[in-house]
Structure 1
């Protein structure tokens, strides 16, 4: 364990230099520079950058201008659609539905419907655009279009990209009870994602996150603790890790901070401290907002990292 451990940062631009380049281009309203950042990115990299662009509040007028100039440009459409989705979700807030006002819901749904109109066109012209389909899965959840429609959208994406982890994690949210799903369906899908992907791929993170969601859904700390310390859960989390972040073929590709963060948290909750320490060591001081929003954000990250290093050693 080092003498001083840096405070965690959840800034996506700290983890991925290309995001910093994208932010500079968006701030300058420089469309050629934006396009250059996306050039030659694979689906995971493209989806990561699209999601990060949604954090740049105030870029909608610029993106609308670019989109209106060429509505056939898939990048312009996907970025504008995502910006509308993120703006709508900020209005809705992250609270459960009973705490959200009717006015908030109306504005939220208006933003999602506008995003849907843009993204329908993108996916019609470019049916292999993973980032656009991933956003449309989010829209299906927000507009409450139902389990079947969300799965239909995922299946359309999977025809072209069968192991797109960001889309799988997005659909998992829809399959959970909080979005009118059920645990059997959620875990069946998560296990399917973990087993179908090649060893060393990130997709088993979806199974780790299914257990995280189940843990969070219990009403009491006693129930939560009993769940994550039960032998079947501990074993399945380790198996998921061995198929992904603990596998020798795992590499830190776009999205790796989110994947390692999710396993760092789940290894910690299941008290598999050596495995947790290995993920914190790989992360350094990096983290992602999700899943740490479920565990007291930076305070939870710091707490579990300290325990992992103390009980599991630093890898």
Structure 2
């Protein structure tokens, strides 16, 4: 988060500096920034805050076509993932095309639906994702106390509509877990019971037992800040990681659970505790076993880059930063008001500590 660097006196300086250190990992180091540039890493101004990694050229072209009102390239990508039963990629595409803007009437998604019909499985799943995205957009990112009654009414009303869209997408393609991933976010927003979430989860795992995106969404539900507790979140994460095959990326879940419940109050030594070192090592091994084209590897790389830096393992952290540099829409950076600044601050800390030149 950004702290205004005005010239102030006495205690104001001390407080601002301490706060900045806690949130960003240290004061600016222009030497580290120069070294980062020498290593080919990008400045803060060139960090993309909409993606966790560079989208492939086919997706870039299809999104550009959609922006021009042409839905056919999006339809081809969704259909190919469905036919290949590549559920991770299908969820990635559905999320990429199912932004809140796509839910507005009169756009390319309406044109696709009119041409393909309401029972087309590909347009139906994008419509479901877009409706969920619109609901969360209408709510806004503020705390409940800062969210108006009108915002909550729009949020809940749109989520009720999302339930119907999700059910339609599930009927259109019964093998697809993606509609149930949408339903997780809907249930989280509407405050569904633990019993209902376990019912949704059973539908997901019957179709894709090791789906990274679905596990990440469900973990949020089980966190203390939403509908669960630290114990429930940790239990969910540990069980998923323990039963998943190598390369599923699910070894990252215990790290996410730890971050969600401990990062804000953690001291430097906490990150170097043996059990946390072991969790990072397990996630690194899992990442190494994942297919190179897995659409979720960048999310894990961002997370590991942060933890490795906090653990003082700067060379290993820098290796991860190199592979995602330029894109910062991932945990933990996305939790900050200025993700690009937070990312560069921690990246440059890894650069500063690294022995590479």
Q: Identify whether the pair has TM-score above 0.5, normalized to the shorter chain.
A: yes
Q: Secondary structure at the match of 2:200?
A: helix
Q: 2:60 aligns with which of 5, 20, 23?
A: 20
Q: How much does 1:162 deviate?
A: 0.7
- In structure 2, distance between residues paired with 1:26 and 1:144: 33
Q: Does 1:308 align with 2:347?
A: no
- In structure 1, distance between residues paired with 2:100 and 2:61: 13
Q: Does 1:286 align with 2:331?
A: no
Q: 1:83 aligns with which of 110, 117, 130?
A: 130
CA shift in 2, pair 1:101/1:176, >3 Å: same
Q: 1:10 aligns with which of 49, 53, 60?
A: 49
CA offset digits 1:56-104 (Å, max 9, x no partner): 6255323245436622112111111211111111111122222211110
Q: 1:43 aligns with which of 64, 87, 98?
A: 87
Q: How much does 1:14 deviate?
A: 3.4
* Conserved? CA contact 2:103–2:131, under 8 Å: no
Q: 2:275 aligns with which of 229, 232, 240?
A: 232
Task: Describe how 1:181-192 pairs up with structure 2 within 5 A.
Answer: 181-192=228-239
Q: How much does 1:129 deviate?
A: 1.3
- In structure 1, distance between residues paired with 2:152 and 2:269: 36
* Conserved? CA contact 2:212–2:249, under 8 Å: yes
In structure 2, list runs of 5 or more residues that go unmatched. 1-34
- In structure 1, distance between residues paired with 2:193 and 2:269: 32
CA shift in 2, pair 1:250/1:214, >3 Å: farther
- In structure 1, distance between residues paired with 2:334 and 2:194: 25
- In structure 1, distance between residues paired with 2:189 and 2:335: 20
CA RMSD of aligned residues (A): 2.4
Q: Which has the higher contact order (CA 8 A, sep 6+)?
A: 2
CA offset digits 1:115-171 (Å, max 9, x no partner): 110111221342321221111111010111122222321221111111100000000
Q: Which has the larger radius of gyration?
A: 2
Q: Does 1:267 align with 2:311?
A: no
- In structure 2, distance between residues paired with 1:56 and 1:19: 18
- In structure 2, distance between residues paired with 1:165 and 1:235: 20
* Conserved? CA contact 2:177–2:208, under 8 Å: yes
In structure 1, list runs of 5 or more residues that go unmatched. none
Q: 1:60 aligns with which of 101, 104, 110?
A: 104
TM-score, normalised by the number of residues in structure 2: 0.79
Q: Does 1:108 align with 2:155?
A: yes
Q: How many residues align?
A: 309
Give 1:256's aligned residue. 297
* Conserved? CA contact 1:26–1:34, under 8 Å: yes
Q: How much does 1:226 deviate?
A: 5.2
Moved over 6 A (4+): none
